[in-house]
Amino acid sequence: MSDILDELQWRGLLQQHTDLDALREALSAGPITFYTGYDPTAKSLHHGHLVQLIVMRHLQNAGHKPIALVGGATGLIGDPRMSGERTLNEADVVAQWAQALREQIARFLSFEGDNGAVMVNNYDWTAPMSAISLLRDLGKYFRLGTMIAKDTVARRLASDEGISFTEFSYQLLQANDFLELYRRHGVTLQTGGNDQWGNLLGGVELVRKAEGASVHCLTTPLITKADGTKFGKSEGGAVWLDPELLSPYAFYQFWLGADDADVVRFLKVFTFLSREEIEELAEATAQRPKAREAQRALARAVTELVHGAQALADAEAATAALWGGGDLRAVSPATLLEAIAGLEVGELELGEATIVDALVATGQEKGRNAARKTIAQGGAYINNEKVADDERVLTTDDVLPGGLILVRKGRRNLAVVKVVGA
Ligand SMILES: N[C@@H](Cc1ccc(O)cc1)C(=O)O
């Protein structure tokens, strides 16, 4: 159990922490109970939360007991962020999102055995707290100077927009959660992203002042891409864990597309592959980058972790069928629809339409002459089969489930013909 901190360190999952020797000692002396909190600010968690869930699982695998906290109360207040004051969400929406998060989180932890996970909601102890108790009992432990010095608060205070008393008070509630969980469950460690450092320390201090106990916290670094672009193609730049917000196919493609400069770091952070396996994949990337073995291993591991074995199998089948000459008719209609989301779509009626029309209608080619040239050079495909004849007519035999025909130009440019009319 003693090497869990080394493991997290090696994986690049450790950024800041309270006294390291004391933490190491606590972790090696026997199972501890720790907690990580998630606020319902959307209907789904994303890759940033995934890092936290993975840290929880590493700690649980090492024998420690996880408490996953859903912020039913804190989600109503809003942790101040740099980009400005949050708009308050309706209470019933927050409650609904809290439930959705609970279900997502549960899939990453084991609820069996002595160190089985426990789920809590801070609404349970925060909602009944009175204004007088908040100000008189809790407030007395907090010094204003410390509160306004916290990173985000300080910067928001200095901004034109400033900060509301609502968001300013957030840190009291999170600190109180640590105290409450220390009292109820003997929690002695809180983990979180590095943006949570101030909030985590607030809890450590509160437990020390109110209970005279010394507890710990640690943060994970913010995981970024080497080229500085945002994580994920979706709006807001998030890789959502909810398959309705990001299909398992698109999720798989995101990891498959990882840069060589990122892939080894991502394997350490986002998978449970062993040190040996990751070192082998690092070697493969250095020796044969074109084979993209590490990317495939990454995409497989993360997709299976988040969406399960069946979704991974579907995503792989769709990838092979779309890009690798696999059997398109073996792909389920639902997966096919996911896989073509985001591709260029052109509409055609069957009858006279040829491969030339398909290339032009989908915008793969600007004009008919260019299309003919591509076909003559052997660069045109219908449903992954090379077409050499530029008079080749599209027929009902070409139509895939959902009324679609795939048209490809060269190796990489894939588009969809949507068959219209009777
Ligand atoms: N403040 C955390 C969520 C959280 C809420 C309550 C806690 O007790 C702990 C963590 C975040 O924004 O991600």
Q: Which two tokens stand for residue 55?
A: 């840290």
Q: What is the pLDDT of residue 1?
A: 43
- Are the C-beta atoms of residues 77 and 173 closer than 8 Å to each other? yes
Q: What is the pLDDT of residue 134?
A: 98
pTM value is: 0.91
Q: What is the pLDDT of residue 233?
A: 67
Tell me the CA–centroid distance for residue 192 and ligand 1, in Å.
8
Residues with CB under 6 A from ligand 1: 37-39, 69, 71, 74, 79, 122, 174, 177, 196, 199
Residue to substitute in 76, 119, 196 for testing ligand 1 pocket (most ligand atoms within 8 angstroms of CB): 196
pLDDT-flagged residues of the chain (< 70): 1-2, 233-236, 422
**Which tens digit of pLDDT belongs to each residue from 285-317?**
999 999 999 999 999 999 999 999 999 999 998
Task: Name residue, tokens 């497989």.
Answer: 300
- Are the C-beta atoms of residues 71 and 39 closer than 8 Å to each other? yes
**Which residue owns the Cα nearest ligand 1 atom 5?**
37
**Which residue owns the Cα nearest ligand 1 atom 1?**
79
Tell me the CA–centroid distance for residue 4 and ligand 1, in Å.
23
- Count the Cβ atoms, other than its own, within 10 Å of residue 280: 15
Alpha-carbon distances, residue 134 vs 6, 117, 148, 202 (angstroms): 39, 29, 18, 15
Examine the predicted complex and report whether its ipTM is higher than 0.95: yes
Tell me the CA–centroid distance for residue 117 and ligand 1, in Å.
18
Using DSSP bridges, classify how beta strands 187-193 and 380-382 pair: parallel, antiparallel or unpaired: unpaired
Q: What is the pLDDT of residue 330?
A: 82
- Are the C-beta atoms of residues 405 and 340 closer than 8 Å to each other? no
Q: Kindly report the three-state secondary structure assignment for every residue of the chain.
A: CCCHHHHHHHCCCCCCECCHHHHHHHHHHCCCEEEEEECCCCCCCEHHHHHHHHHHHHHHHCCCEEEEEECCCHHHHCCCCCCCCCCCCCHHHHHHHHHHHHHHHHCCCCCCCCCCCEEEECHHHHCCCCHHHHHHHHHHHCCHHHHHHCHHHHHHHHCCCCCCHHHHCHHHHHHHHHHHHHHHHCEEEEEEEHHHHHHHHHHHHHHHHHHCCCCEEEEECCCCCCCCCCCCCCHHHCCECCCCCCCHHHHHHHHHCCCHHHHHHHHHHHCCCCHHHHHHHHHHHHHCHHHCHHHHHHHHHHHHHHHCHHHHHHHHHHHHHHHCCCCHHHCCHHHHHHHHCCCEEEEEECCCCEHHHHHHHCCCCCCHHHHHHHHHCCCEEECCEECCCCCCECCHHHCECCCEEEEEECCCEEEEEEEECC
Tell me the CA–centroid distance for residue 129 and ligand 1, in Å.
18
Instruction: Give the span between the Cα atoms of 406 and 399, in whole angstroms.
Output: 9
DSSP states of 250-267:
HHHHHHHT--HHHHHHHH
End-to-end CA distance of the chain: 67
Q: What is the pLDDT of residue 326?
A: 75
Instruction: Give the span between the Cα atoms of 172 and 236, in whole angstroms.
Output: 28
β-pair partners for 36: 68
What is the dihedral sign for C-alpha 7, 229, 250, 247? positive
Instruction: Give the span between the Cα atoms of 360 and 353, in whole angstroms.
Output: 11
Tell me the CA–centroid distance for residue 71 and ligand 1, in Å.
6
**Which residue owns the Cα nearest ligand 1 atom 8?**
174
Q: What is the pLDDT of residue 2?
A: 47
Tell me the CA–centroid distance for residue 177 and ligand 1, in Å.
9
